[in-house]
Structures are given as structure tokens and as C-alpha cells.
Amino acid sequence: MKRERSQSVPSVSQSLRSTRFSSIRNRLAAGACLSITALLLSSSASSVCAQEKIRISSARIWPSEEYTRLTLESASAIRYTLTTVKDPDRVVVDLEDVSLTPELKRLADRIDPADPHIHAVRFGHFKPDILRLVLDLKTEVEPQAFVIQPVGTYGHRLVLDIYPAIPPDPLMAFLNNKDKAGYMLRDEPHNGTHVSSRTEIETVRSNEAARKNRPEMIRLITVAIDPGHGGEDPGAISRRGTREKNITLAIARKLKEKIDREPNMRAALTRDGDYYISLSQRLVKARQLNADLFVSVHADAFNKPHARGSSVFALSERGATSAAAGWLARKENEADLVGGVNLDIPDPFLKRTLLDLSQTATINDSLKLGKAVLSKIGNINHLHKAEVEQAGFAVLKSPDIPSILVETAFISNPDEERKLRDHGYQDKLASAILAGIKHYFADNPPLSRSRMVSLD
């Protein structure tokens, strides 16, 4: 019995060793747990950091002669720093906490070789938390960058506009147009040789004998045609996916071709491609051209497909002539929110709160023009309203140019959308608008503000 008891009871030294081994095992186990926990926490933190990186969901580029726009869209606002570098000319944009997604990488392949401003796009990690975007340039530029809050179907957008350091002169482009080779637009003669003070183009020879041998000067009527929307702003979209911006540009181009074939008329487009021009800049271009008329082309939309017909609108001094006109004006005025406008740039037109007397007279002329155009459009399409309507359209606020907005048809109506997509119908619309313009001038001869002269 004693022997059995001695075998079952450990000695003091054995107990101490066992206790020490147990303590070591516990400390090792605790340390392992802490290490595993630390690794898990580190992995989790790394995952969280990765999730905090901003992902670019869409990268778009809109090249044109006037400027090139690059847009980066994301779910949250992008913080950035913009700088320019010389020798060679580059624009550098540092993007904070933005990951280099496949969508961004594909942007390099979207640079059009014909882009007049950007040669190439490159990306690289300048710092761990800074993604650097570099634009290699073809010419000296004046870049602008700004952010746009979510609107419509868009999320947060960082917009980078690349303007040439020497912007193209609309009047010079107008004069260089070869559609009417041998003719030019100039101001009313002053001492026989004065040309537009903006361009100082000395093209009228002062030799009296040579001047007498030239054909008699005739009045050149200048029409500014404004295709609505463009670029980031698609305008109304039909159920089939037809975009208003494409319809308006197609009709505007046809109208320009027809006007340019008239012996005493010439037209210029506010945009001649798929890019956005702000509402105020459309007016600025019309005034730079000394335009006699401003015609903005649109294709209406409504939330019900049965709405149909063409309409013509002019600016209002006091308010909309109908609830529908007011609604449409508010919708069209929101184009700058969708298209993207740098709010830091002063706007000489849209911030106008009072209409002067000259604009009152201009509105009266706009109503006459609108009535003439509406009567001609009524020959090829149902009229939504039989009279010219008025509302506070921002794009019609030129103080000295009669201006109308033509809603050619409802793109939201399946039957009218089919017509708007048809090239033959687009041609008929352009012919009707031109017929209305000619009818207006037959009753309201233009003032002697500009002339067309033959050049040797």
C-alpha cells in the first residue's frame, strides 16, 4: 500500500518542474494568440485602407479644336493638385488616395491622334498615397480643373479642361471657312480700310482705283446655330437610347449647309463636335461673330410618350407664358450642371438680373423670328403649341441678338424619335427653319452692321 501511494503522489521537484513547463506553455500560447490577432488586425486594417482608396468608375475624354475635356468619375470626391511643367510642355495632376484601376489605364488608348492639344497620357505612383496623371502636350495650354457634385446619373466628377494658350478666334475661323471662298465679313467701312478691331485683319486695300473695280458690296446675314447639349451632357435620351445631343448636331449641320448656299447668308456653329459648351459661352461666340440671329436647336422630352409636336421659344421679361414653358426652361438651364461648368469663371450673361431696354427690343424681334420659323415648321410636323412661347432660357439672354430655341420634336415620343433619326426628315426640318429665317428677313431687313466684299 505504501508503495502504491508513493507511485501515485509526485515529488516536490516534479511538481515544480511541471508547474514551470505549464507556465511556459501558457505564455507561448498567449504569445501565439497575440501574434495571430495582430496579423489578423493588420490584415483587416490593410483591407480597410485598400477599401478607402478611391476607384475611378469612368474616365472620359472629349477633344475639340476649342479645348479638350478629361473627366474622372468616382463614388466619392477626388482631392487633387494641378501644376504645369515646361520643356517639354506637360500638365501634371496629383490624385490623392486614388487607385490605378483598369479604367484609368485604358484612358491612354483613348487619346485621339487628331487631338490638337494632348499627345499622350501617363500614370505613375509619385508617392504611396499619390497617383500622378501626366498629360504630354502638343502645344502650350492654359489648364483648368474643378470638381462637380453628383447630378443626374453622374457621381462625383473631377473635370480637367485643356485650353490652348492662344484660343482660336471664332471670327478668324469664320473668315477662313472655304464654303464661300473669296468673301469675308468686315465691319462697316471706316476711312475705307477698317476691319474688325478684334482681329485687325487688314484685307481691304486702300487703293481707290482697285476698290472701284470690285463688285458692289452686298449685306451678309450671319446666323449662329447652336446645337443643344454635347459632351458630358447628352440631353434627353429616348427609350431606344437616342441622344438629343446627336440629333441636334445633325440638324444644325444640315441647317448650316443650307444657309451657306444662300448668296447673302452665312452660318457658324457654336459647337461642331461632341463636346460641351457652356450656355454663356454660346452667347459669347455668337456676339464675337457679330451674328444677326441666334438659333438654338433641341429635341424635347417628356415623362409620358404621347407628348408630341414642335415648338419655338423666345426669352421672357416677366416669366413663363405657360407651366410647360417654365418647366422646359428650368430643365434646359440645368445643362451647365450636367455638362460641367467652372463656377470660378465670371459669367457676364447668366448672372444678369435686369433686362435693359435694348434687350426688350431684341425680344420683340425674337418673337417675330420665332413666329416665322414656327409657321414653316408647321408645314412638316404637328405643332405642340400654335404660338411662340416664352420663358427664362439662359441660352437666349443675348441683349442684342434676336434669339430663339427650336424644339424640333419630342425625342421621347417613339413616332417622332423615328422621324428625328431619319436623315430625310432632318433635312426637311433644316429647310423649314431656313425658310422661316428668310421670311423673317423679308419683313425685317438687317441693319447695316456687316458686309460681304469680294477679294482679289
CATH code for the domain in which residue 137 is found: 2.60.40.3500
**CB of 19 within 8 A of CB of 11?**
no
To 10 degrees, what angle do helices 244-260 and 423-443 make? 50
What pTM does this model have? 0.76
100 domain residue, yes or no: yes
68-74/156-164 β-pairing: antiparallel
Q: Are residues 222 and 338 in the same domain?
A: yes
Q: How many domains does the chain have?
A: 2
Model pLDDT, residue 191: 33
pLDDT in the model for residue 116: 94
50: in domain? no
Spell 326-343 as b/e; 16+ CB within 10 A means b: bebbeebbebbebbbbee
Identify whether residues 128 and 184 lie together within a single domain.
no
Give the range of the structural domain holding residue 300, as residue numbers without chain letter: 170-454
The H or E element containing residue 435 is helix 423-443
pLDDT at residue number 347: 59
pLDDT of amino acid 189: 33
SS3 65: coil
- The whole-number pLDDT of residue 147 equals 94
* 268 lies in the same domain as 364: yes
Beta-strand runs (E) in 75-178 = 80-85, 90-96, 118-127, 130-137, 141-148, 156-164
340 torsion bin: left (phi>0), alpha (psi -120 to 50), beta (else)? left
Residues of the chain with pLDDT under 70: 1-51, 173-219, 346-358, 447-456
Mark whether 154 and 175 lie in a shared domain: no
Q: For position 306, what pLDDT does the model report?
A: 84
Give the SS3 label for residue 372. Answer: helix
State whether residue 162 is helix, strand or coil.
strand
Q: Say if residue 232 is exposed, middle or buried (CB neighbours under 10 Å; 0-12, 13-18, 19+).
A: buried
* 174 and 154 inside one domain: no
pLDDT at 64: 93
